[in-house]
Amino acid sequence: MEAVKQECASLESQSVSLKQQITSLTSEIASIRNAHDQAQSELNLFCSKIKECDTQISCILREQQELQHKISETNLERKKMENEVKRMEMEQKSCSSKVEKLIEKHAWITLEKHRFGRSGTDYDFASCDPHTAREDFEKLQKAMAMFEESEDEYNDLISKKNIIENDKTKIKMVIEELDEKKKEMLKVTWVKVNNDFGSIFSTLLHGTMAKLETPEGSTFLEGLEVCVAFGSVWKQSLSELSGGQRSLLALSLILALLLFKPAPLYILDEVHNLFSS
């Protein structure tokens, strides 16, 4: 009875130690999950920023198209107005030239000039009001001012678009850099755990080999398969192994994972049964 009590006390102490180790591992897992969640949230934030940038770019492109359409219409209107101004200038020059020729040809024009434009006379020019020409010229000036304003808005939108595209490029570079770092860490972990896994399993069970291999047509990022060989013959499936062999295989993988991030203490229960099987 005393021996049993001592054994029970020993088992209880071992149980307490195991619970402490489980608590430590649980907290470590929680810390890793928190780090993963934080990285995922940062990635989601970057993705949302990219979506916002895409939305802003789409809006700017639509505004740009509208402005280009307005500018095209304004340019067309401006050309019409410029042609009209040129036509009026040419007409004015032609009229001035005709007036000079008429004055030289007809002396009476100089004598009757003071009556030009007066109502009730033969020289009423109300039907040819010069104010109409002035109003047309003012309309042309307004059209030119509107064109310049639209052109300034277009240049401002192009500048904003370039800034947003630069920000989008920087965000993409950060995401790609994070992905590369993640791939490098996973590859380093795979290589280290794979070497230790094969070494430990061949030590526990002589004449065997074990490795973590990528499935055919896949990469290590998509998953790994456990392969076991006895001698030089690789098993097709782990179901061909006995229960003890599978236990040794699982133990080797666990120890390889622990070697990658060593723990201060390991507790193995009934190891003699494991090796005897």
pLDDT digits (tens, 9 = 90+) for 169-216: 999 898 888 888 888 888 888 888 888 888 888 888 888 888 888 888
* Beta strand spans in the chain (E): 208-213, 225-230, 233-234
User: What is the tens place of the pLDDT at every residue in 95-104?
Assistant: 888 878 877 8
User: What is the tens place of the pLDDT at every residue in 21-55?
Assistant: 888 888 888 888 888 889 888 898 988 899 999 89
How many Cα atoms are found within 13 Å in the side-chain-facing hemisphere of 57? 14
- By CB atoms closer than 10 A (0-12, 13-18, 19+), residue 210 is buried
Q: Are 157 and 64 contacting, i.e. CB atoms less than 8 angstroms apart?
A: yes
Threshold 0.85, pTM exceeds:
no
User: What is the tens place of the pLDDT at every residue in 214-242?
Assistant: 888 777 778 788 888 888 888 877 888 88
Q: What is the residue extent of each domain of the chain?
A: 50-181
Q: Give the residue carrying structure tokens 């380093």.
A: 188
